[in-house]
Amino acid sequence: MDKIYMNELSFYGYHGVLPEENKLGQTFRISLVLHLSTRKAGETDSVEDTVSYADVYETVRAVVEGKRFKLIEAVAETIAAEVLAGYPLLFRVTVKVVKPNPPIPGHYHSVAVEIDRERGL
């Protein structure tokens, strides 16, 4: 199957277990892999035959900026569910949520969760 990659979309959200995360917020980076057949779109050169990544961007933005979660696992699950529900040409989606600055001690680049979900599973 074919794939559309959406890499490191950046949004400001209020997700976290600690009260200050819910009050101050922080940047989250989201990457997606949309699994579908792009053959018809490649032959017709028509956006109607594929998934508009501009529309998917707005779906993800609505989840990250419009809702609040304690866990990035819940952010990822909600994004996957919304994307699969909203775009019937997709049969699978991979979602990676990166939290660059979680309030934990130590030296690290970021923490992240990645999930892979299929339609109907």
The CATH number of residue 64's host domain is 3.30.1130.10
Cα–Cα distance between 47 and 115 in angstroms, integer? Answer: 27
Looking at residue 46, what is its pLDDT?
97
Catalytic residue among 3, 23, 96, 99: 99
Q: Which residues of the chain have pLDDT under 50?
A: none
Q: Where in the sequence is the domain holding 102, given as residue range(s)?
A: 2-118
At 77-92, the pLDDT tens digits run 999 999 999 999 999 9
Query: 59 by DSSP, 3-state: which?
Result: helix
Angle at 115 between CA 46 and CA 69, to 5 degrees: 100
Write down the pTM of the prediction: 0.94
Domain count for the chain, please give it. Answer: 1
CA-closest candidate to residue 31, choices 89, 83, 86: 83
Q: Cα separation of 82 and 90, whole Å?
A: 12
Q: Is 3 a catalytic residue?
A: no
